[in-house]
Homo-oligomer: A and B are copies of this chain.
Amino acid sequence: MNCLLLPASAIEGSRAHMSDSAQISHIRQVLKANIGDTLKIGMLGGKLGTGVIETMSERAVQLSDVMLTHAPPPKLDVTVVLALPRPKVLRRLIMDMSALGVRDIVLVNSYRTEKSYWQSPQLARIDEFVLEGLQQGVDTILPRIQMHKRFKPFVEDVLPTLLKRQGIVAHPKTEASFASFMQEAAGSAQALPDVLCIGAEGGWIDYEIDLFAAHQCQALHLGARILRTEAAVNALLGQWLLHPQASEKCF
């Protein structure tokens, strides 16, 4: 946790009350903080700043001198459409996308998503994974998250409402490469794509690729190498995070 996020209701003027057990144990065991120490905090949906530990027990920490002065970093101007992954990797994927500042996350069904994934208890923990990611990435603004259990209605009816410029789909079995696409885009001073679709293990099937293509999402390969979903998501989002125009294009 590179900052500790509190709900607005926990902050009153220059004082704040913390009772989240994960945060308390982080303060005591990882930071090994004492009374009088300053913590980096943020208000969920609000600003970042600091607070000073006034009292501390195993169950609660009371802060004084709370000052929330910094705006959180801009979000990346991108919607990630992710085929619902294995529950085991869901936590890290949601954490990383939240830490990187993805603005919209859509979890969607795909042909290669196993049906059992939609029954996973991990799905009920997404808010927790988002909070972990924001506290890692030092951000206060929750990404918007949608889940769609039916692929075709999502692509036909919802995707067009999310896509303003251009979508791309990571897909090993295609001719066009992400690298050339980005080079052309840079040459014509075109903005980065605003929708990025990433498949489950085994990728998208032809039907899905065709439906995406009919809705302004072009399939692009990342080279000959096949990456784990997590590695692919981070390698691709790095293009938004580290793009020279990224901060201008964000809001």
Contact = CB atoms under 8 A, between A and B. Distances in A.
A94 interface: no
B234 A138 contact: no
Nearest to A186: B186
A87 B95 CA distance: 20
Contacts of A186: 186
Interface string A226-251: 11101100111111011110110000
Q: Copy number of this protein in the oligomer?
A: 2
Interface of A: 2, 73, 92, 95-96, 99-101, 136-139, 178-180, 182-183, 186, 222-228, 230-231, 234-239, 241-244, 246-247
Contact of A227 (B100, B222, B223): B100
B100 A242 contact: no
Report whether over half of chain A's contact residues are helix, strand or loop; otherwise say mixed: helix
A86 to B, nearest CB: 13
Contacts of A237: 235, 238
Contacts of A180: 244
Given A235-B234, A235-B241, A225 B73 contact: yes
B179 A244 contact: yes
B183 A244 contact: yes
In this complex, which of A92, A99, A139, A223 has the most chain B Cβ atoms within 10 angstroms of its Cβ?
A: A223
B101 A246 contact: no
B136 A242 contact: no
Contacts of A96: 227-228, 231
B136 A243 contact: no
B179 A225 contact: no
In this complex, which of A92, A136, A222, A225 has the most chain B Cβ atoms within 10 angstroms of its Cβ?
A: A225
Nearest to A137: B225
A246 B137 contact: no
Contacts of A244: 179-180, 182-183
